[in-house]
Structure 1
């Protein structure tokens, strides 16, 4: 009889725990879906794109300096 009572009490305790866990998971999923998160792969793609853009910018900057030097030498 005590075992039956104990099992009934444990079942009553277990259900609110499951409900609470379910509700917390739903809240966390909703909060995460609202965040502006990006994957590690997207970050790496952006880093690569930025690296390439910086290389191109350095090349263009060097060409501008060469053109400025050639204009200075023509004067």
Structure 2
């Protein structure tokens, strides 16, 4: 009888803990979703794209400088 009573008390104590844990997980998942985080893979892809764009920009700037120099030499 005492064991049954203790078991009932333990179940009553565990239930709020389980509910609290479930609610906290739901809140944390919602907060992370709202943050709109990106994956490391996406960051790496963006970094690669940015490096490629910077390299191309440098090439174009050199071409513009060369063309400007040609124009200056013709004057």
Give the whole-Å Cα distance in 1 for the aligned partners of 2:57 and 2:33: 37
Question: Where in structure 2 are there 5+ consecutive unaligned residues?
Answer: none
Using structure 1 for the length normalisation, give the TM-score: 0.90
Deviation at 1:25, TM superposition (A): 1.0
Partner of 2:52: 52
Give the whole-Å Cα distance in 2 for the aligned partners of 1:29 and 1:64: 51
Write out the 4+ residue segments of structure 1 that deviate beyond 3 Å after TM superposition: none
Question: Where in structure 1 are there 5+ consecutive unaligned residues?
Answer: none
Using structure 2 for the length normalisation, give the TM-score: 0.90
Partner of 2:18: 18
Deviation at 1:47, TM superposition (A): 0.4
Partner of 1:31: 31
Aligned length in residues:
75
Give the whole-Å Cα distance in 1 for the aligned partners of 2:74 and 2:40: 51
Give the whole-Å Cα distance in 2 for the aligned partners of 1:34 and 1:18: 24
Two-structure CA RMSD over aligned residues (Å): 1.1
Give the whole-Å Cα distance in 2 for the aligned partners of 1:36 and 1:8: 43
Give the whole-Å Cα distance in 1 for the aligned partners of 2:60 and 2:42: 27
